[in-house]
Structure 1
Amino acid sequence: MAEDIYDIDTASTPRGDGIRDLVLTDRWNTPLGKPNGGYILAAMLRGLGEEMEADDPMVAAISYLASPETGAAELRTTALRRGRRVQTGEAALWEGDRHIAHLLASFGARTGGRSVELGTPPALPAPDECFDPKDFPDALPSSSIFDRVDYRLTEAPGWALGEPSGDPTAELWQRLAGGREIDFPALAFLCDAYAPPVLEIGEFMSMTVQLTVHLHRRPVPGWIATRLTTRHVINGYHEEDCELWDEAGNLVAQSRQLAILLS
């Protein structure tokens, strides 16, 4: 089977001494014309895991240090700990002499143990009962990232209609375009793949400063139910929380990010 765009665009090639070469493409650009932060996270997390020959990623924390550009980049990785249960490493993304992003991640085998779920997934209609916002050009801003993800919404968001609801919450279905299987780096990407809900209080756009993702389990094949919320906007910064649930009702990932409002 031929590689799909996700495989190609998150791939990196080992050069030796923990350094890997990759190319950031414009196929994952945000409405700001820059590579999406979740896409950068997915590529860095995949490269670090491959370089360390580690188990599945469990948690990843990325800080964005400079505005990324499309083109050739370098991933500089370091193994910090190779424990029996947990392996931890870090990766720095460089474009020339510009340090773009820094990632700290831990990996480990899923060996079972107690599970207690006190949350509930979004109460969404089935994906085929929702509408595809790509059929309504005003429902999503013009951006190449929205060609890489399939979305299903229960209704058009208020901000897209010029009538922000005042409630910075969003619940929707997501998946990689065409239904491509979702691996752990793709789950990390999906935590940052939709328009920020802060748009529902009349903001224009925001940009992620720091993002931490917890990766709990691989999803069953299908769509990912997504809940996004913002509750605090302070001095031009805001948090954004995300939960990802698979179609079997399992929480598969969650995240929190700090973002800055752009006027």
Structure 2
Amino acid sequence: MTDFYPHDTIATPDGSGRLTLEVTDRWNTPLGKPNGGWVLASMLRTAMDHADVGRPVVAAITYFASPEAGTIADLTVTPVKLGRRVQTVDVDLACDGRPLARMTASFARDHHGPTQELGAAPELPDPGTLPDPREVGMPRDGLFGRVEYRMAQAPGWSVGQPSGDPTTDVWQRLDGGTEIDWPALGLLVDACPPPVMELGPLVSMTVQLTVHFHRLPEPGSWVASRFSTRHLADGFHEEDGELWDDQGRLVAQSRQLAILL
């Protein structure tokens, strides 16, 4: 079981009023940059640890530039409105005075209301029957060493034959079954290779990401995930995501705008 989550997402006071976060290469993507989901998870945890808020209901993050592994990032939490039902805060992430990302997130305490699910989880075989991609050539360093994946079949782009259908259905969980908390859901909506790669040899980077948080999965369970792209215009594309627990309940959903490099 990994020792790196949640440790790598915790910002600490440095004694002068600053909140700092070590930017590690343990969550790097194959592009050599820290994963945007890890950035979101770190900023979300910082808000939860250092502001008077409940559990997240929505977070929207805009990425200005990627942090560099080996640097120390500064995080600033600014309450916007700490209401009785909804608490909203901004979190800014910078390095050496250079702004890298801004997140606006809303939280709620002890809120209960009606629930009705009109969607359906992806139909995937039992994850225990599927191969570990790391056993058949998937890199073990960076992000892919921190998150486990199980797929019914290898994506076309990974074998040099893009399918033309930018949709991915996959089981995910933190390595070794580490418990998935609220920040981890923010990580997992952006932890898979982008499905737009099924349209050809394309490289994509997230510009803006919004996540809706519904509930937590049971500790140690796999999360059935579906990611899809339907619109590509002038080098920008959307990506919609849904995360479902192994009981068929939606735990989070997302939409991001990304740019092709």
Q: TM-score range by the shorter chain?
A: over 0.9
How large is the RMSD of aligned CA atoms in angstroms?
1.7
Deviation at 1:113, TM superposition (A): 1.2
State the partner residue of 2:40.
41
Please say which of residues 198-207 and 108-117 is displaced more in the overlay.
108-117
Distance 1:206 1:5 in 2: 26
Q: Is contact 1:19-1:77 (8 Å) kept?
A: no
Contact kept, 8 Å, 2:2 with 2:175, in 1: the verdict is no
Q: Taking structure 1 as reference, are residues 104 and 52 closer, same or farther at Cα in structure 2, changes over 3 Å only? A: same
Shift of the 57–65 alpha-carbon distance from structure 1 to 2, 3 Å rule, reads same
- 2:144 is the counterpart of 1:153: no
Aligned twin of 2:259: 260
Separation of aligned partners in 1, 2:203 and 2:228? 15
| 2:96 corresponding residue in structure 1 | 96
In structure 2, list runs of 5 or more residues that go unmatched: none
TM-score, length of structure 1 as denominator length: 0.94
For each residue in 1:140-187, what CA deviation from the matched residue of structure 2 results, as whole angstroms up to 9, or x when unmatched?
467511000010010111000000000000001000001000000000
Say which of 162, 171, 196 aligns to 1:164.
162
Cα distance between partner residues in 2 of 1:59 and 1:17: 30
Q: How does 1:73-152 map to 2 (within 5 A)?
A: 73-137=73-137, 140=138, 144-152=142-150
Tell me the CA shift for residue 196 of structure 1.
0.3
Q: Secondary structure at the match of 2:128?
A: helix
2:57 aligned with 1:58, yes or no?
yes
**Cα shift at 1:204:** 2.5
Taking the aligned partners of 2:204 and 2:110, their CA distance within structure 1 comes to: 35
For the residue of structure 2 that corresponds to 1:247, the secondary structure is: coil
Any idea what the Cα deviations from partners look like across 1:175-221, whole Å, max 9, x if unmatched?
00010000000001000001000000103210000000001111123
Maintained 8 Å contact 2:56/2:106: yes
Structure 1: gaps (5+ residues) = none
Q: 1:235 matched to which residue of 2? A: 234
Q: Which residue of 1 aligns with 2:3?
A: 4
Amino acid of the residue matched to residue 120 of structure 2? T
SS class of match (1:228)? strand
Per the TM alignment, residue 16 of structure 1 is displaced from its structure 2 partner at its CA by 7.3
Q: Percent identity?
A: 54
In structure 2, what residue type is equivalent to 1:74? D
The whole-number CA distance in structure 2 between the counterparts of 1:3 and 1:187 is 17
Shift of 1:228: 0.4
Q: Which moved more, 1:158-167 or 1:12-21?
A: 12-21
C-alpha deviation, 1:4, in angstroms? 2.1
**Which amino acid is 1:171 matched to?**
D
Is the 8 Å Cα contact of residues 219 and 252 (structure 1) preserved in structure 2?
A: yes
- Alignment partners' CA distance in 2, 1:19 and 1:45: 17
C-alpha displacement of 1:8: 1.4
